[in-house]
Structure 1
């Protein structure tokens, strides 16, 4: 009988020990769980911040105050990219631009001018072309500007260090692409004389000769 009693007590003690060990293991797992969750939360926060820090590069041109290339947040809208370029000019046609469109890397955002402004610009370009032809036909040195003034009073000089891309297009022979290149060139170094326009890709000595009397260095 004593042997059976001892055996029963041993088995009971073994069962109780297993139960206690199981409970302790469960508590340890419960304690480590919040730490694991905390680690995952921290990783998620780091990932979220890294995503927010990403930017894309876009080119903003046309009827904006400061055309150029800008790095903007990856999830921003066109209106934010335009704001980075100084905002719209007075003659900008914002109705023709999707301001809520999301930007993408390498995107060119061009803001057109209003129809009335485009018409006026075309008239000025035609007037300048007529004035330039009249000036080139004279034999008097230095009479180009005078001849242009007599033929059409709309011809005006342009300050090449401060004029917008749209204003630069008033110059004879300067289209949108060449105007943008002038802006990009002066951003890397201001013009100190009309001859500095030769730094602009696409402007040679012949074109400079046509522009010289219509540009001013400010």
Structure 2
């Protein structure tokens, strides 16, 4: 009777072990189920997730042909990311870029410009700005001269040897400082002709030409 009982227990344990082993094998198979056995929609989701896990997004800017944001393999290096942006331009300073550095998600890769090229470009911009300023200044000066021409029609002859500082300021282009210098110059020697105004610091041939019709030597 005891032998039958022991035999029954052994058989029961054996059957239970087989059932447990079978269940474990089934779970392992479910875990390692190949993607190809999944529905097509599920396969696409798995493939998309796997692709995303293997790529990173980086920004490439500076001296490259096509600046922008690129998705590159997670294992690639800076050199490959720059290649994805069309490569470097002629004025790129490759010596200041670590081309073998591995990329990471969210990384910004900026390729600098050679110092000589940067200096040339900056100088060119400065020259353009200066040219624009000069043109603007010339335009303003032209407008001022035009306005002065209109006012000159009301200017009467001024006796440069006896006129006061305020009277001398009626002459075109003569301000308080220049009028004072005219008085100081004539105190050291009277003006014998309009040409003697060239002795006054600040009056040149161009200014004299504008004053000639409005001065009188007494």
Normalising by structure 2, report the TM-score.
Answer: 0.46
Using CA pairs below 8 Å that are at least 6 residues apart, which structure has the higher relative contact order?
Answer: 1
Normalising by structure 1, report the TM-score.
Answer: 0.46
